[in-house]
Structure 1
Amino acid sequence: MKAQTDFYFYGCENCTLTELITFGDYKVVSYLEKRNSNKSRLMLLDKQNLGIDTLTGWLEGYRRIIKTGENSFTSIGNSSLDFSIQDGKIMIDRSIGMRYFLDVKENGMTIDNPIIFWDNWVITPFFERKEPSKKGKNKEDSKLFERQFFALPTKELRSNPDITSSRKDFYGGRVPVESNFIIHGKEKNPWWKFYPITKKVIYEGLPYRDATFAVNGGGLLMLERMSNSLYLLSQTPEQVQAKQILLGVDTVKFRFWEVFSDLTRKQDYLLVWNISEKHYEIWELDISRGSYKALGKTPHHPYHIEDGHYFVKLETDKRVDILRLPIY
């Protein structure tokens, strides 16, 4: 990789910037309040980095933003919102949120996060705490978990705007009433039905290493980080199919950390943590062949890859800087 100097892209002082994603001449910047990670602000910048639109409100259970097209992106967490950029404004196309999250069950498992909109489906993991591996321990103390991914067709969603998301201080009231969906764990007669798309995976450890996603052309790349499992999801009008991509990697030495799709160059990447050498590596993926090529190591943790460059965020107590670095 080239020397990582003089690649400054954007920065701000005394700010809580979390991510910056480019859309042609536009940039979308997200900010979160330090004291309340659910409170957020999205700002649209023009070519001169001037703010031309701002949305302020609640981005519940926020994890990250994923670019899904030339002018579209989605947020993931224990809710998901689809956004599009239209005529110099950030518009919200649809929203799905959870109420009484831990009471949303399927096949004896509890819904997990992040949840993501993907075309005509909602994708999310579920988990279940298993019996402890050692005798004499309570199930509640067990660190043995089972996780499985499920899909819910969007055609089955029911609009149910609640008081919070209908207010003007929830992203300026731009959440459409007809596509504002709520899954309520306390509902007496649950209408939803999630369909399993992967096999169950058992692992030992805390279940907080979230899955991560990347839109891959017509498919969706899904990384289950607890088990080092990479999947390519495809869809028909009636079902979602998940194909596991087997890379033949020594999972004792490497931990899969993030998956990315460069929509400009139509290339997929994997961010890998080298356990023994304690550094990140960027691998170029060939999904069709189930192979990879290690491109080099990086001291940074990229959050986005586009047009042959990866974006990293550098933070100090006083400022946040975004660097745009060439992959090779």
Structure 2
Amino acid sequence: MSKIRTSVALGLTALGMTMTPAMAEEWRFNNFLPETRPETAQMEQFVEEVNAALGGETSLKLYSGGSLGLPNTDTLRFLPKGAVEMSLMWANYLGRDAPALSSVVVQGTIGSIEEFEQVIPTVREIYQEEFTDWGVSSVGYVAIPMLSVSVFCRDEPVRTLEDLKSKKLRVWARDQVETFTRLGIAAQIVPQEEMYVAMKTGVVDCALYPALYAHTVSLQEVAKYASYLYPMASGPYVIGVATDRWEATDESVKATITKAADDLWDRTNQYEKDLQLELDARQTLADGGVIWGEDFSDEDRALVVSSMTETWAQLAEEAGGNAPAYRERVLKALGR
């Protein structure tokens, strides 16, 4: 009998050891941004706050820098299918599957903090509606700073659109390809993770990139010259969860995630310090060897903005469906 009891006890112990981890549910949180980005630090704090409040029964684990191997352009494919429990999303990366999303806010068409703050509530409403149609619930948002986009070049300074016409320019979204093509400039999409090698090997001569984030991808190692081109406001990043999973989640867990997500939005939706952050970033890059030239002229900047405005209308018309209506809602919010 003692042997039986011992065997049963050992069996129960082993069973308990195997069941305990299973009882603690882990949500994998896919973040395509590099670990060095300030937004990633904010999401790390979000995860810490959720985990501290939940006490271990359910926990989030952040995977940054694309470490899970999930392309950011495929989010609307893998997230509803449960490849991960939670993922960061950015509308401008999702135009292949949801064309209407990529034309909600075309980067560069909103050029001031005041306009941006006017339009953010409308943009969030549109995102929520569109993602719901894809079986994804928007459970949080991360604001993107009001960025200053510069042209980084490898071999020689470029400070005019005319000079840029003789260069191969790296951009990150289709609306930028269309915008610069209108201006007679050869632009091609190069993913962020491939940009360093593309610049180093001469696949592209110059790269469009915000100075604020340039050090996070070591751009100063492959670009010797830089000049500011235009201001850029973007729709926020969205934290998404498959709708069926979100609806099945315990209400206390949902409330905890929502509270931490609201705090995350409040922390990031601040723009007063953006100009100083930009100047500090330029100084850091200059210390790393980048030579900052004169800004592109006001005339060149106006041409870029005009071209972007034409691109916005074009993309909305091409996308069809809800896209034209979304654009009209954003324009109305802007008072245009």
Q: TM-score, normalised by structure 1?
A: 0.23
Task: Determine which structure has the larger helix proportion and give its number.
Answer: 2
* RCO higher in structure (CA 8 A, sep ≥6): 2
Q: TM-score, normalised by structure 2?
A: 0.23
